[in-house]
Chain A
């Protein structure tokens, strides 16, 4: 079975500062890992995904995440936050057959001017 934890339900950063959103997972099989973003009144949008290829994954809007098996982590980063990055971010895990898809509880990112 898979599970996901996201440390920090709410993260605030200043505009231009580094964004770091934490995600740890547990999985009994090699996982696929995803980061999604949700803007107000909208559905989820895929930011990036790890599917057992390169461990450093680059996504849209300047985000990237690194899969670290030894730490069972898949933290999301962006070097410089923009006001438009303010949203809810969800980490998710599935097995490599697309089964047992599980979401983390989400982290709300606020960007301060």
Chain B
């Protein structure tokens, strides 16, 4: 089956630093990728839709200047949390939708646990 690799799985950083999270589709091309965030004891929340070669579409309430998304190729999307603060500590997960298919199937990365000190 299709594999989505997300890296790193866990990161601890100091407040004020930036953190980059990568999401790769290993055996398929993905025009569209999605980024989600989950706070403890809550459900997953869609942050943004990432489209290859164009600007990401952010959900209401998500700061586009803080959560920078780059989808420069059909197999890689990155999420950069800029000037991270403790309230950004969360679980981040990506998903990818294969290009050329029915776009009804999503494949998920394994997630990144971000802890900001």
Q: Which residues of A contact B (CB under 8 A)?
A: 32, 34, 36, 38, 40-41, 43-46, 49, 51, 87-88, 90, 92, 94, 96-99, 101, 103, 105-106, 108
Contact = CB atoms under 8 A, between A and B. Distances in A.
A97 B106 contact: no
A106 B91 contact: no
Given A44-B36, A98-B41, A103 B108 contact: yes
Given A99-B91, A101-B91, A88 B36 contact: no
Interface stretch (B20-28, B42-50, B72-80): B42-50
Interface of B: 1, 32, 34, 36, 38-44, 46, 49, 91, 93, 95, 97, 102-106, 108, 111, 113
B108 A108 contact: no
The list of the 6 closest CB pairs from A to B, nearest first, reads A98-B40, A43-B46, A43-B34, A46-B43, A103-B108, A40-B103
Nearest to B111: A101
The interface centre, meaning the residue of A97, A98, A105 with most chain B CB atoms within 10 A of its CB, is A98
Contacts, number: 58
B34 A44 contact: yes
Nearest to A52: B41
A108 B38 CA distance: 24
B105 A88 contact: yes
A41 B30 CA distance: 12
Nearest to B1: A105
A90 to B, nearest CB: 7
Contacts of B102: 40
Nearest to A34: B43
A97 B39 CA distance: 9
Contacts of A101: 38, 44, 91, 93, 111
A45 B46 CA distance: 8
B103 A41 contact: yes
Contacts of B1: 105
Contacts of B39: 98
Nearest to A97: B40
